[in-house]
Amino acid sequence: MQVDRRTMMAGAAAAMVAGPALAQKRAGMGWYDRAIIIDGLGGIGDPYSPEEQLRIGDRAWKEMVETGVTVVRDTVMPVGNLADTWGEYQKDIANKQNILNANPDHLLLIRSAADILKAKREKKFGVLVGTQDTSMIGPELDRLAQMKKDGVMTVQLTYNNRNLSGDGSLEPANAGLSKLGKATIERIEAEKLLLDLSHGGAKTMAEAAAYAKRPLVISHTGARALADHPRNTADETIKAVADKGGVVGVYFMPFLTLDSHPKGEDLLRHVEHIANIAGEDHVGVGTDNGPLPQRLDAEAKEKLRKWALDRIKAGIAAPGEGVDVYPMVEDYNSVDRYRRFAADLQKRGWSEARLEKLMGGNFLRVYRDAWGA
């Protein structure tokens, strides 16, 4: 069963009123508007228009611009072990291409680091397409070359469950990386795609980080030292990714605390912990949300409830997911979430130079390193 959270969130998400923060520049935040801002794992969608509408409406576009985000890494489905994963991939990549084609004045497909700079220069919203599984590839490694032609630039090795490459984060056996997983990493690197270890089992991630020869990422995770949850990452693996020149992105997700209801302070603690372990050149932001915040009225809550039940039924829900758990950090559920997040770190002593790395500079570097000039 395929459950597409990005599609669901496009229907359920809507911007909350951000108040005066959007009407005036925050003191000392001029650097933010000049910087490259990258969300290493999110999703795009227009919550105000019918789901079948490909063209982004004026309201959604206005709010996307207000976020100040340059690039979001969007997911091409499927995840999980379905009957026809390649067929599902082909349908979803075609849908993404249709959305891009319907919005040439707003969206730019990212295939290189130069495209990211172009998106910033032309005031467009960069869309970086990647997978969150290799189930659609399996042993057919030549498919990676076709996916690159399709515009896929990042490949996540596993999702929560086991696939042919290795164990995901929810597999109790924690069996690690398979022989095919090693071959898949080799082919990802040969194609100059970016390897992503998010959602991996602890042993899979550690073995893959050790096996990789080129810079890689964990695009969206938290620190397991602060919250011992299978979706979070051990310090040793965080350091191993950094030692390969990679980046670890921190998500705005319930798994930052074991009660599934993290506060803004919890998110800041995870960011600072990972920055201390990996170094300031190897930490980023991968919200696992997207640029526009979630509406929490009755209709939206019912859609979130259905989505949670679908994930539980499909066997892909992580511990702590449930009908009363929303995939976000509520303290940052506003159009200006990225600005406020950066401003809060600045209050804790983060310099502008360090914040520019966190908010996009580090991901920009690793993209350039992985993809080539």
Q: What is the pLDDT of residues 314-357, one digit of tens each?
A: 999 999 999 989 999 999 999 999 999 999 999 999 999 999 99
Q: For residue 271, name the pLDDT band (cuts at 50, 70, 90).
A: very high
Cα–Cα distance, 299 to 286 (Å, whole number) = 27
Report in angstroms the alpha-carbon separations of 206 from 18, 197, 234.
Answer: 40, 9, 9
Q: Which two tokens stand for residue 244?
A: 């390969």
Q: For residue 48, name the pLDDT band (cuts at 50, 70, 90).
A: confident
Percent of the chain with pLDDT over 70: 92
Task: Tell me which residue of 240, 243, 268 sits closest to 256, measured CA to CA.
Answer: 268
Is the pLDDT reported for residue 150 higher than 60? yes
pLDDT at residue number 51: 86
Q: Which two tokens stand for residue 89?
A: 């991939």
Residues sharing a CB contact under 8 Å with residue 129, sequence separation 6 or more, in sequence order: 73, 74, 75, 76, 93, 96, 109, 110, 150, 151, 152, 153, 154
Percent of the chain with pLDDT over 90: 87
pLDDT at residue number 114: 98
DSSP strand pairing (217-221 vs 107-109): unpaired
Is the pLDDT reported for residue 87 higher than 90? yes
Q: Which two tokens stand for residue 72?
A: 């979001």
Q: For residue 294, name the pLDDT band (cuts at 50, 70, 90).
A: confident
Report in angstroms the alpha-carbon separations of 282 from 88, 123, 357.
Answer: 33, 26, 8
Is the pLDDT reported for residue 232 higher than 50? yes
Is the pLDDT reported for residue 94 higher than 80? yes
Cα–Cα distance, 212 to 233 (Å, whole number) = 17
Least confident range of 66-80, 144-158, 228-242, 293-307? 293-307
Cα–Cα distance, 219 to 159 (Å, whole number) = 13
Mean pLDDT of 94-113: 98
DSSP strand pairing (152-156 vs 247-250): unpaired
C-alpha angle 339-194-112 in degrees, rounded to nearest 5? 70
Q: For residue 290, name the pLDDT band (cuts at 50, 70, 90).
A: confident
DSSP state of 194: E
Q: Which domains does the chain have, with CATH numbers?
A: 5-15+27-371 (3.20.20.140)
Is the pLDDT reported for residue 4 higher than 90? no
Is the pLDDT reported for residue 129 higher than 90? yes
Mean pLDDT of 239-259: 98
pTM score, whole prediction: 0.93
pLDDT at residue number 115: 98
pLDDT at residue number 27: 53
Mean pLDDT of 203-223: 98
**Secondary structure (3-state) at 158:** coil
Least confident range of 48-52, 112-116, 252-256, 278-282? 48-52
Is the pLDDT reported for residue 154 higher than 90? yes
Residues sharing a CB contact under 8 Å with residue 45, sequence separation 6 or more, in sequence order: 6, 7, 9, 10, 11, 13, 60, 290, 292
Mean pLDDT of 282-298: 92
Mean pLDDT of 57-78: 97
